[in-house]
Amino acid sequence: MVALDPRDDAPAQYVFDLGQLRDPAREPGAAGVLAFVISGAARCVERGTEATVRDVQAQAAQQIPALRGREPELLRVVTEKRATFLCMPRLARPAAAVAPSLLAAGDYVAGDYPATLEGAVRSGIAAAVAP
């Protein structure tokens, strides 16, 4: 996962390298696949999918050194209209410890990942295996 520098013309806040996150034996097609996260995307929705894809492709070519000079190919756009948490670099989130022997889990609590499904799952696993 890499935090990006979001701007009006560069809307993605994070990028995940799925080839690094997935088991290559089970998902060999994940190598070279990047997943970009745009949170608080009302402006992107207004502009439309095609304009947003062009902006993210340009952002990727500019902000990801391994892609310099190459435009990434679009595989799929996923929109979650019920997502409400604004995903931003360095956003302060509460700790998982609520009380002695009680931990919260989910995308909202502090963790190594931003407020994404991946972050929520990792948070849940960490809470489940905590002593």
| Assigned domain for 18 exists | yes
pLDDT band at 18 (very low <50, low <70, confident <90, very high): confident
- Closest by CA to 18, choosing from 10, 29, 26, is 29
Give the residue-averaged pLDDT of 93-101: 88
**Of 67, 88, 110, which residue sits at a domain end?**
67
For the segment 34-63, what is each residue's pLDDT rounded down to a tens digit?
889 888 788 888 999 999 999 999 999 899
Query: Are both 106 and 58 inside the same structural domain?
Result: no
Please say whether the beta carbons of 110 and 122 come within 8 A: no
Residue 74 placed within a domain: no
The pLDDT assigned to 87 comes to 63
Mean pLDDT of 64-80: 81
Q: Which structural domain range is residue 60 located in?
A: 2-67
Number of domains in the chain: 2
Contact 90, 5 (CB under 8 A): no
Query: b/e per residue, 11-26, with b = 16+ CB within 10 A?
Result: bbbbbbbeeeebeeee
Q: Do 62 and 101 sit in the same domain of this protein?
A: no
3-state secondary structure of 98: strand
Q: What is the pLDDT of residue 106?
A: 86
